[in-house]
Amino acid sequence: MQQVTPAPVTKLIDEFSRLPGIGPKTASRLTFYLLRHSADRALTLAQALKELHEKVLFCSTCFNIAESDPCPVCSDEYRDRSVICVVEEPLDVLAIERTREYHGLYHVLHGKISPVEGIGPEELKIAELVERVNTSEVEVREIIVATNPNLEGEATAMYISRQFAGGQLKLTRLARGLPVGGDLEYADEITLSRALSGRSEM
Amino acid sequence: MQQVTPAPVTKLIDEFSRLPGIGPKTASRLTFYLLRHSADRALTLAQALKELHEKVLFCSTCFNIAESDPCPVCSDEYRDRSVICVVEEPLDVLAIERTREYHGLYHVLHGKISPVEGIGPEELKIAELVERVNTSEVEVREIIVATNPNLEGEATAMYISRQFAGGQLKLTRLARGLPVGGDLEYADEITLSRALSGRSEM
């Protein structure tokens, strides 16, 4: 069999395949798509990839991704500095900002405690959170622990709450219950029992 | 709401989203995946994209993608120059090479006749095929029209066969029938009727 695929094509297929959720078929479809289109398309994508790590840094206060340090949220004087919302990933900050309901600060852990993946608390920005709360100019009243509502997220939340045990600080967790627009009939029993125990007066 | 996503991140998400079959969710998953990993990962992909159009060209004989002109297949003296297999896309060449059963040459049309998409025969490398056959040093005995077994592929095959009508040239089409490993019970009626009419003696 001849080597009928040029090396640069094979290389790009390989590189696409290394991305999560992209198999060899999708990788080769993307590569041939770019090959059919003008070089500009591929070059714009290449440029965007090049600038990703060049121009994006982590805020040294909240560890969210940003183009400046401190990030726009941490340097915004209209934000409530007495509340910190702790999330696992930068994408979670985005999700909460979209609600337009939260006006405090954030703290991005960059992961969750996961013994299976060998990720302990020291891999996360938890020590930095404790340090940040202790040295904050404005007293921190509340920490909203907004880790994901799953096993690892709960374990991480528990660990964080232990770091602040015995202090004046209020620690809260996002409400668990039925998703808006969801159907009671299809809710799993854990979500439903959480919704029951967390019921509120009408 | 604050601009919490840095512009380079948004830009890469946008660029990924422009690829076929990649929606905004997948695009942002890929972007944040690359952000979590070292800059090397993103840069290797960027480099591969940059080299795609730089290093890949089209063979001026068969119009397959290659790093050299003529391509390795066209310049291979052990190939049977009297047979040309006509395919729609470079990926089809790859599929046929994988069978290790074909030892002739190829001709890549770069598309199919598709009135819906406004693609006529003049957009494809059909005139080039006629010219190639007429001026070939070794006489071309057979053209295997291996366009896809669907409406556009059949229309393209018909058009090509008309270009060579009345000549000595043998025009063939790949066999249609039940896919190997397939199940008769689940075959559609058109495939099954093709399999019936094309039945061979045991």
Question: A95 — contact with chain B (CB < 8 Å)?
Answer: no
**Integer Cα distance of B12 and B32 in angstroms:** 10
CA B33 vs CA A85, A117, B50, B93: distances in Å = 23, 16, 21, 33
Please give the pLDDT value at position B48. 95
Residues of chain A with pLDDT under 50: 1
Alpha-carbon distance of A189 to B160, in angstroms, equals: 63
Closest chain A CA to residue B98:
A1
Alpha-carbon span B54 to B75, nearest angstrom: 22
Using the beta-carbon criterion (under 8 Å), do B15 and A44 form an inter-chain contact?
Answer: yes
- Contact between B57 and B90 under an 8 Å Cβ cutoff? The reply is no
CB contact under 8 A, B3 and A35: no
* CA–CA dist B71, B130 (Å, integer): 19
Which pTM was predicted?
0.75
Top-ranked range on mean pLDDT: pick from A139-143, A163-167, B164-168, B178-182: A139-143
How close does chain B come to A77, measured CA to CA in Å? 12
User: What pLDDT does A22 receive?
Assistant: 94
User: Counting beta carbons within 10 angstroms of the beta carbon of residue A73, is it exposed (0 to 12), middle (13 to 18) or buried (19 or more)?
Assistant: buried
Task: Name all contacts of B114-118 with Cβ < 8 Å and 24+ positions apart.
Answer: B114/B152
pLDDT > 90 in chain B, percent: 68
Tokens of B53: 């159009």
Q: Count how many pairs of residues, chain A against chain B, have C-beta atoms within 8 Å.
A: 176
Contacts of B114 (CB under 8 A, 6+ apart): B152
Q: What is the mean pLDDT of residues B101-126?
A: 93
Q: Is B25 on the interface with A (CB under 8 A)?
A: no
Q: Predicted ipTM? A: 0.76
At B1 the pLDDT is 46
Encoding tokens for residue B165?
């009508």
Q: Each residue of B7-25: b (16+ CB within 10 Å) or e?
A: ebbebbbbbbbebeebeee
* pLDDT score of B2 more than 80: no
- SS3 of residue B40 by DSSP: helix
Q: Can you give the pLDDT at residue A103?
A: 92
CA distance B48 to chain A (A): 5
**Smallest Cα distance from B33 to chain A, Å:** 8
Query: Under an 8 A CB cutoff, do A20 and B33 touch?
Result: yes
pLDDT digits 0-9 by tens, B79-106: 999 999 999 999 899 889 888 889 999 9
- Taking CB atoms and an 8 Å limit, are B48 and A12 in contact across chains? yes
* CA dist., res. A128 & res. A109, Å (int): 9
Region B73-84 average pLDDT: 94
Which token pair is A7?
């090396």
Q: For B53-66, what is the mean pLDDT?
A: 93
Which has the closest alpha carbon to B84: B124, B119, B121, B128? B128
Q: What is the mean pLDDT of chain B?
A: 90
Chain B residues with CB under 8 Å of A16 CB are: 45
Whole-number Cα distances in Å, B102 to B59, B95, B173? 19, 11, 14
Locate the chain A residue with the closest alpha carbon to B50. Answer: A43
First CA to last CA across chain B, in angstroms? 73
**Residue of B4, B13, B91, B94 to mutate, testing the A interface (most A Cβ within 10 Å of its Cβ):** B4
> Touching check for B96 and chain A: CB below 8 Å?
no
Structure tokens at A85: 């919302």
At B130-160, the pLDDT tens digits run: 999 999 999 999 999 999 988 899 999 999 9
